[in-house]
Structure 1
Amino acid sequence: MTTSIPSSPAARPHLDDGRFRSAVDFLLRHEGGLVNDPVDPGGITNFGVSLRFARAAGDLDGDGRLDLDIDRDGDVDADDIRRMSRDDAAYVYWLHWWNRYDYASLHLSIATKLLDLSVNMGATQAHKIVQRAARAMGPEYRLTDDGQLGAKSRAVLSRLSNLDFLPAIRAEAAGFYRGLVIQRPASAKYLAGWLNRAYA
């Protein structure tokens, strides 16, 4: 099987990053293998990476090849999702979430929860969840839920890392998932799994 992970060890820093590997292990408790559910707007999905995301991912690593063109045939399609391995998915998580949004600079518990939610609901929505959760911790942590992890958000998250902040994130995530089912009733069959993920 062809893999999208770069062959040079220098190009694979995610493999040696213990904090990232810990976050990926947590994430993969919630992401199974190949799923092709017609109700899922993301399309065919493997390890939480959907075809919709894969087609939009582009060439973030700048190697001249689409990041999710796993079979290296010049396009990104369902075959690439089917061929994706756990290590392929880990590289995608690192490149398109962990590294792109500098989650490594956050406290590990917050970074881990952010990565898990970002893969499932998208980074912007996950960042909004964390910003809303910060507001719930008190007026001194007031943030605008704009979905951007700028300097102010990072400063607040740094202060919150010493507090029991995860319950607030979990509650906001659960509220988001419940709201999603109200908007898209066909997604109700996912709610139990989503809530398990929210409260993990």
Structure 2
Amino acid sequence: MTVDEMIDGIIEREAGFVDHPSDPGGATRWGITQRVARKNGYHGDMRTLPQETAREIYKREYVAKPGFLGIAEIDPFVAEEVIDSGVNAGQFRAAKWFQQALNVLNRRGRDYADIAVDGEIGPRTLGAFKALRQRRGEAKARQLMLKTLNGLQFMHYYKLADGGTKFEDFFVGWIDHRVGAL
């Protein structure tokens, strides 16, 4: 799976224009919020944001900038989950979930050393991911990582929606279309 194919999947899942009153992201098209579009030079009506502009923003802001391309080079399926989580919950948060998952999967440092949970995907984080794959095998490491990432993502959404907050409007959709959906 290529990064372009991952982005196509995100655009398909995020299709259309949305401006839900409970969503602090406001006007959104193809999953790109107006704030992000403006930051990336698009100043037109969000209802007409071109798909190609959304693709360029995804590549730059949601793949390259947070360091997720390095994950894609190692395991595109895990990268797809991290990138998709970054689109929905924020790139920094998705990067931290990836690092947190690596730290709890290392058996208290017996398989590889803990890494900083700083949201920076660099050589140490990628090295830990490679060590997990070497220790567990590619298929098992992928399975463990995806389950752990989905658990962290679920808890995030649960905490947002718990207590009848405005985010409860989105909880069913998040669980149905995000957690374990890739």
Match of 2:121 in 1: 149
Partner letter of residue 22 of structure 1?
E
Q: Once the 2 structures are TM-superposed, how far is the Cα of residue 181 of structure 1 from its aligned partner?
A: 1.6
Preserved contact between residue 7 and residue 55 of structure 2 (Cα < 8 Å): yes
What is the DSSP-based 3-state SS (H/G/I as helix, E as strand, rest coil) of the residue aligned with 1:139? coil
**1:91 aligned to which of 42, 51, 56:** 56
Preserved contact between residue 154 and residue 179 of structure 2 (Cα < 8 Å): yes
1:48-104 deviation line (CA, Å, top 9, x unaligned): 11112223x24xxxxxxx2x23x4xxxxxxx1x211132221111011121223422
Q: TM-score, normalised by structure 1?
A: 0.74
What is the DSSP-based 3-state SS (H/G/I as helix, E as strand, rest coil) of the residue aligned with 2:17? coil
Q: Once the 2 structures are TM-superposed, how far is the Cα of residue 183 of structure 1 from its aligned partner?
A: 7.5
Matched residues in 2 for 1:185 and 1:31: separation?
A: 23
Partner letter of residue 84 of structure 2?
D
Q: TM-score, normalised by structure 2?
A: 0.80
Q: Which runs of 5+ in 1 are unaligned?
A: 1-17, 59-65, 72-78
What is the DSSP-based 3-state SS (H/G/I as helix, E as strand, rest coil) of the residue aligned with 2:147? helix
Q: Which runs of 5+ in 2 are unaligned?
A: none
Matched residues in 1 for 2:173 and 2:34: separation?
A: 21
Question: Is residue 22 of structure 1 aligned with residue 2 of structure 2?
Answer: no
What is the DSSP-based 3-state SS (H/G/I as helix, E as strand, rest coil) of the residue aligned with 2:126? helix
Matched residues in 2 for 1:132 and 1:23: separation?
A: 23
Q: CA RMSD in A?
A: 2.1
Deviates more, 1:180-189 or 1:127-136: 180-189
Q: How many residues align?
A: 165
Q: Once the 2 structures are TM-superposed, how far is the Cα of residue 119 of structure 1 from its aligned partner?
A: 1.1
**1:123 aligned to which of 81, 86, 91:** 91
Matched residues in 1 for 2:125 and 2:24: separation?
A: 30
Matched residues in 2 for 1:102 and 1:169: separation?
A: 17
Instruction: Give identity over the alignment, percent.
Output: 24
Match of 1:63 in 2: none
What is the DSSP-based 3-state SS (H/G/I as helix, E as strand, rest coil) of the residue aligned with 2:13? coil
Preserved contact between residue 42 and residue 53 of structure 1 (Cα < 8 Å): no
Deviates more, 1:188-197 or 1:156-165: 156-165
Partner letter of residue 119 of structure 2?
G
Question: Is residue 170 of structure 1 aligned with residue 150 of structure 2?
Answer: yes
Matched residues in 2 for 1:181 and 1:144: separation?
A: 28
Preserved contact between residue 43 and residue 51 of structure 1 (Cα < 8 Å): yes
**2:23 aligned to which of 40, 43, 47:** 40
Q: How does 1:98-117 map to 2 (within 5 A)?
A: 98-106=63-71, 107-117=75-85
Q: Once the 2 structures are TM-superposed, how far is the Cα of residue 29 of structure 1 from its aligned partner?
A: 4.5
Matched residues in 1 for 2:163 and 2:86: separation?
A: 20
**1:51 aligned to which of 34, 43, 48:** 34
